[in-house]
Structure 1
Amino acid sequence: MKYFTVALFGAGILLAFGYLHLSPFTNTAARDADGTAKTISRGGCTIEYYVQGTGSRVMLLASAGRAVSDFNQHASALVDAGYKTVAVEAPGIGRSDLPEGDHHLYDLGSDARAVIDADGGEPTSFFIGHAFGNRVARATSLRYEKISRGVILLAAGGYKPVPKKAEIALKNLFNPGRFGRLRLADLKYAFFADGNEPPDDWRRGWHIDTALLQGAASGLTPDKEWRSGGTAPMLVVQPAADAIAPKEDAADPLKANYPDRVTVALAENAGHALLPEQPDLVAGSVIAFLTAYSSE
């Protein structure tokens, strides 16, 4: 949406730096994604995705400028619980092409739908979105309402502007000239609760071109109906210490606007990163939700 676009707009000037692609922190892989790697083509662009397990399909959509490898531990927990995970790499990451021209959230949702079709079998799916991925998850669930069994939002935002200090820290993470203690301080402030040390794979893997496309996609989306996620049941896992999407700007309005179908799980001692901070709590909350709605 426009607030996310504003949060990343300043990062666009970084494209002028000749060392943009030389930084060890930006535009490099955080780590390898788990699962069987596959590709499809849609609209002349390659989309890469990773498949693991069998059972009801759970689509995984990562944070802004981040790879689906952020889901590795979570995907493993879902597979162990009897679910199939399909993690869709965002445009510009891995073998997923960065398309030309303007894109909006529904275009990114159509990428996810194309992967579902290629995966075969029953098309109905659950959608999990982390941070920016929650926007894509909701847009996909709305546009393809008949196949959505449920939407799970991890560290969701979308209602209010990113608080200024967190916005600056977020932009700095996509700055290839930001190093050392300053960069680590930005990462900790924007994504991690006090006392939680960022793992190595979160200190790298920030894809600026992808983030710019994603930020623009939110602003270009012609309506805000995507916020509803359609009519499917919704689980919101809200980090208690989320500097980018505080509870009053995220879980609270979602619960207020859709009280009959939104469940909120509060993750103490967790920030916007969430997945590496509270893996067991997230897995337990998600699996309980999936179990409740898999039989419907």
Structure 2
Amino acid sequence: STLTNRFVQAGYQVVLIQPRGIGKSSGKLSGKSTTMLELVDDIRDTLDQLGIEEIWLVGHAFGNRLARSFTTYYPKYVKGLALLAAGGNYQMTSEAQNCLKNSFNMRLPKDKRLEMISCAFFAKGNDASIWLNGWFPQLAAAQIHATSTIDANKYKMAAGKKFLVVQASEDFIAPPEFAGKVLAKELEDQVTYKEVEHAGHALTSEQPDEVAEIVIEYFKQY
């Protein structure tokens, strides 16, 4: 991906951890039993297997919850933390919920599902077809369940570490005024807040170069 390439060009070793049961990874993935702590420990186990003791951690969408949870339980591993398209603790509109739910519905006709993906994840005018393939509904169900197994207040502050929030200005399911801006207001100096124009929840696929520049510049302080 453009984002990964930009990090490599900046001198970082990039590790993209596949969720359990996806690709060549192993482990049970269930929408009824998978917990956030299990996913947190998957990250720790992977880093230990690779002999990595310290990381710059980037979490996108659900990954912002997982990244903050990991930082909360294992703060010594985390040198710097960046959250992309971080959702907030608020009730989504019925339209947003419908678009999000149906983006995972593989039984929908291709054009209808593309409409749902565009609605939930992309800013107007951006090409949502690049996200049409590569979906894992079972993973989505597991992530939803994992989120329910941990109190958001437990991980909200990420063990008190300072972190970056990059929010998309046209994020339909996580609007800045209900998500990143709220977090920045609550945690004040702990949060560096940046907003990217003409992007939705699919932020890293819509404006990868701008996101990369923001994250790389932020991590320079470490």
Alignment partner, residue 43 of structure 2: 112
Q: Deviations over 1:106-137 (max 9, x none)?
A: 2211111111111114x111211110111100
Partner amino acid for 2:190? Answer: R
TM-score of the two chains, using structure 2 as the length reference: 0.93
Are the equivalent residues in 2 in contact too, given 1:145–1:231 (CA < 8 A)?
no
Residue 195 (structure 1) aligns with: 125
Shift of 1:275: 0.9
Partner residue of 1:74? 3
Equivalent-residue separation in structure 2 for 1:259 and 1:223 (angstroms): 18
The one of 24, 47, 59 equivalent to 1:95 is 24
For residues 277 and 223 of structure 1, do their structure 2 counterparts lie closer, same or farther at Cα, with a shift above 3 Å needed? closer
Rounded to whole Å, the distance in 2 between the matches of 1:164 and 1:91 is 31
Distance 1:164 1:149 in 2: 38
CA distance in 1, matches of 2:77, 2:27: 27
Residue 199 of structure 1 deviates from its aligned partner by 4.3
Alignment partner of 1:211 is 2:147:
no
Q: CA deviation at 1:144?
A: 0.5
User: Matched residues, percent identical?
Assistant: 37
- Between the aligned partners of 2:50 and 2:102, the Cα distance in structure 1 is 37
Greater mean deviation of Cα atoms: 219-228 or 109-118: 219-228
- Please report how far the alpha carbon of residue 235 of structure 1 lies from its aligned counterpart in structure 2 after TM superposition: 0.6
Figure out how many residues of one structure are paired with residues of the other and give that number: 220
Quick one: which amino acid aligns to residue 213 of structure 2? G
Q: Is the 8 A contact 1:152 1:235 kept in 2?
A: yes
Partner of 1:17: none
Which of 165, 175, 179 in structure 1 is aligned with 2:109? 179
Deviations 1:8-42 (A, max 9, x none): xxxxxxxxxxxxxxxxxxxxxxxxxxxxxxxxxxx
Residue in structure 1 matched with residue 14 of structure 2 by the alignment = 85
Structure 1 residue 98: Cα displacement:
4.6
Q: Which amino acid aligns with 1:230?
A: A
Q: Which runs of 5+ in 2 are unaligned?
A: none
Over 3 Å counting, the alpha-carbon distance change for 1:223 and 1:276 in structure 2 is closer
Question: Which of 123, 129, 138 matches 2:68?
Answer: 138
Task: Tell me what 1:154 maps to.
Answer: 84
The equivalent position to 1:252 in structure 2, one of 172, 181, 191, is 181
Q: Which amino acid aligns with 2:37?
A: Y
8 Å Cα contact 2:56-2:80 kept in structure 1:
yes
Of the three residues 166, 176, 185, the one matched with 1:237 is 166
Which SS does the other structure have where 1:88 is aligned?
coil
Q: Does 1:278 align with 2:204?
A: no
Structure richer in strand, relative to its length: 1
CA distance in 1 between counterparts of 2:147 and 2:80 reads 21
CA distance, structure 2, for counterparts of residue 222 and residue 285 of structure 1? 29
1:288 aligns with 2:217: yes
Could you say which structure has the higher helix fraction?
A: 2
TM-superposed deviation, 1:147 = 1.9
